[in-house]
């Protein structure tokens, strides 16, 4: 990794960098624009790629940006979506999550949903760096219980959520499976 690393929270000031990183990859993962966890699935499915980009832009313009960008020499190379738990409405709607019937003391204050690295910069440690930076920013913003949802998928292609091993290295604990491929992990920051 370069010596010229910077991390910036996702705000209207960093929108153009987010748009450049995601636009380079056609909105990432079928044109998601990291919107899937921010709205009901019916709303997500009704949106076009451009609609998802516009939805994300509206969120950030309203001061509801959820995430951070990692830069190498001023160029955005990685993204981690995190924020206040209530912003990630889709997770609350998962049947497997609802079935947990969490007591108040286990309700999260924060969630980390996605990690993405420019395809030309993968296998350089950016995902771990972005996760570490997100945990650091969560700590700066008062900390609390953090949930993450890495996918446990077969095959060599890394999921957009990061791996279980990566979260374990950061101190997260695996709690349970939510369905076939999704893990629920937690960290108290």
Burial of residue 104 (number of CB atoms within 10 Å: 0-12, 13-18, 19+): exposed
Phi, psi of 172 (to 5 degrees): -70, 155
Q: What are 36-81's pLDDT values in tens digits?
A: 999 999 999 999 999 999 999 999 999 999 999 999 999 999 999 9
Q: Alpha-carbon distance 52 to 152, whole Å?
A: 26
Q: Which has the higher per-residue pLDDT, 5 or 141?
A: 141
pLDDT for residue 124: 83
Domains of the chain, first to last: 5-188 (3.40.630.30)
Identify the pLDDT of residue 162: 85
Encoded tokens for 119: 């395809």
Cβ atoms within 10 Å, residue 90: 17
pTM given for the model: 0.93
Confidence of residue 151 (pLDDT cuts 50, 70, 90): confident
Q: Within 10 A of 93 (CB to CB), how many other CB atoms are there?
A: 13
Residue 156: pLDDT band with limits 50, 70, 90: low
Over 60: is that where the pLDDT of 142 sits? yes
Compute the distance between CA of residue 124 and CA of residue 51 in angstroms, rounded to an integer. 32
């Amino acid at each position: 990794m370069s010596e010229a690393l910077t991390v910036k929270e996702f705000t209207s000031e960093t929108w153009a960098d987010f748009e450049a990183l995601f636009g380079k990859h056609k909105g990432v993962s079928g044109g998601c624009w990291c919107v899937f966890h921010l709205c009901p699935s019916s709303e997500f499915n009704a949106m076009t790629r451009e609609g998802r980009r516009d939805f994300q832009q509206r969120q950030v313009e309203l001061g509801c940006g959820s995430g951070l960008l990692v830069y190498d020499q001023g160029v955005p190379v990685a993204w981690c979506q995190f924020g206040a738990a209530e912003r990630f409405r889709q997770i609350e709607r998962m049947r497997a999550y609802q079935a947990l019937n969490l007591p108040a003391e286990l309700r999260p204050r924060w969630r980390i949903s996605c990690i993405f690295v420019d395809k030309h910069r993968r296998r350089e440690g950016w995902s771990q760096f972005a996760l570490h930076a997100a945990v650091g920013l969560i700590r700066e913003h008062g900390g609390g219980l953090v949930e993450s949802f890495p996918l446990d998928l077969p095959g060599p292609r890394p999921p957009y959520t990061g791996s279980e091993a990566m979260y374990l290295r950061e101190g997260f604990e695996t709690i349970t499976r939510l369905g076939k491929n999704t893990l629920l992990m937690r960290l108290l920051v």
